[in-house]
Amino acid sequence: MKRNPYFSQLSPSYLFSEIKDRVQRMHEHHPHISLINLSLGNTSEPLGCSTADALCQAATDLKNPSSHTGYGPEGGLLILREAICNTIYHNAVSPDEIFVSDGAKSDISRLQLLIGPMTHVAVQDPSYPAYAESCRLGRSSDPSFFSYLPSPLFSKPLLCTVPDNAVLFLCSPNNPTGEVFTHAELETLISHARRHQQIIVYDTAYQAFIQGDYPRSIYEIHGAEEVAIEIGSFSKMAGFCGLRLGWTAIPHALRYTDGQRINPDFCRLVATVFNGASLLSQQGGIQVLSLEGQKECQRQIDLYRKNTHLLQTALVQKKISVSGGRHAPFLWVKTEHKNSWDAFDFFLEKMGIVVCPGVGFGPLGEGHIRICGFGNPASVAEAASRIDRL
């Protein structure tokens, strides 16, 4: 077999592998230093009790011959799809427009199969690296097929650089900057997309962290159902990073440039490449979306917010330029006079804190690092006091 030539378009090592290697080297050379990892967007709080109980019950059901089930429906259990429509979308979306998945990241890749190799894809810069990486793996990175869009991207001239019929990957709240789109900004983006027959893929993995009057879903904006696919995740909302559960919404009103509907194609694609999300995770997800489950999630989110605030205060006191932190558990730190990886090494060597180099999120991330508010409160407090002692 010949190597897929698109592998050579990926950066030599995926961001988090390079971080792991550097941390490993630090461990080997300084085994006595206890490192605090604030680099990964990995939840640290245990599952809510009622959700854990629902998972145990689902396992018990699978153990009994009378309640055992094999494969579930590829698009997800109807009761979960209904709960997503109810709780997340306030019924602005219907259950047959929801496709339950094993996480947002898998759906980002599956969407590349839907988009195909000949459509131009534009990705916010900086943003979650999976958009650009999954894009590069399946298509030429020639500028006629791929471009970065500097973020924030609300100016019309900037949007006009994206060709007609293109797909735009947007993320709100943005990972890594924590920026969130306003209603007015989304209206601009949607009307621009309608005029230019573009499709927006809107990733809401951190929507549960949004505070104040900002859209939690693109479907809050009139007309979005004609131009937008939305990706959601249970990972950060409910601590499902390891359990794996997410969804993609493909409204019936969404059409290709030739007028055909996109939803049936995604349905076909899911049936071809996926046998559905784990039934255990789905039962957990149903509980997460109940009143009790949502209260448990809120407690976790409040804790991550406190963590983020503590770190932000420590950085601000050191006169370090920092943004984000309000709508996502991320602090976006400007690394004066240092490039991202030098700043990464500085935090690692001087404070034993592992951060994420901003350049891993796109070229405009250079000169920044991302610090996460996930982590148990004791280690976050220790990180804050290390920053304080700097």
What residues line the site for ligand PLP (CB under 6 A)? 41, 103-105, 128, 171, 175, 203, 205, 233, 235, 241, 246
Q: How near is the Cβ of 45 to ligand PLP at its closest, in Å?
A: 15
Query: Residue 162 and residue 195: Cα distance in Å, rounded?
Result: 12
Q: How near is the Cβ of 353 to ligand PLP at its closest, in Å?
A: 19
Which residue number, 103 or 373, has a Cβ lying nearer to ligand PLP? 103
Q: How near is the Cβ of 103 to ligand PLP at its closest, in Å?
A: 3
Query: Residue 127 and residue 183: Cα distance in Å, rounded?
Result: 20
Q: How near is the Cβ of 330 to ligand PLP at its closest, in Å?
A: 9
Do residues 171 and 124 touch, judged by C-beta distance below 8 A? yes
Query: Residue 352 and residue 338: Cα distance in Å, rounded?
Result: 18
Do residues 207 and 104 touch, judged by C-beta distance below 8 A? no
Q: How near is the Cβ of 208 to ligand PLP at its closest, in Å?
A: 12
Do residues 98 and 73 touch, judged by C-beta distance below 8 A? no
Secondary structure element (H or E) that encloses residue 5, with its range: none
Which residue number, 177 or 233, has a Cβ lying nearer to ligand PLP? 233
Please spell the DSSP secondary structure of 46-103, one letter per residue. Answer: PPPHHHHHHHHHHHHHHHSTTT---S--TT--HHHHHHIIIIITTTSS-GGGEEEES-
Q: How near is the Cβ of 173 to ligand PLP at its closest, in Å?
A: 8
Which residue number, 131 or 341, has a Cβ lying nearer to ligand PLP? 131
Identify the residue whose tokens are 């006009």: 160
Which residue number, 266 or 351, has a Cβ lying nearer to ligand PLP? 266
Which residue number, 129 or 351, has a Cβ lying nearer to ligand PLP? 129
Q: How near is the Cβ of 349 to ligand PLP at its closest, in Å?
A: 26
Which residue number, 241 or 254, has a Cβ lying nearer to ligand PLP? 241
- Collapsing DSSP to helix, strand or coil, 149 comes out as strand
* Torsional sign, CA 338, 348, 105, 241: negative
Query: Residue 102 and residue 70: Cα distance in Å, rounded?
Result: 17
Q: How near is the Cβ of 133 to ligand PLP at its closest, in Å?
A: 12
Residues with Cβ within 8 Å of 296's Cβ and at least 6 positions away in sequence, in order, are 47, 48, 49, 50, 51, 238, 288
Which residue number, 314 or 364, has a Cβ lying nearer to ligand PLP? 364
Q: Prior bond to 126 cis, omega within 30? A: yes
Which residue number, 238 or 351, has a Cβ lying nearer to ligand PLP? 238
Q: How near is the Cβ of 158 to ligand PLP at its closest, in Å?
A: 21
For residue 39, give the amino acid letter.
S
Interhelix angle 49-63/279-288, rounded to 10 degrees, is: 150
* Torsional sign, CA 80, 41, 383, 375: positive
Which residue number, 189 or 387, has a Cβ lying nearer to ligand PLP? 189
Query: Residue 131 and residue 289: Cα distance in Å, rounded?
Result: 27
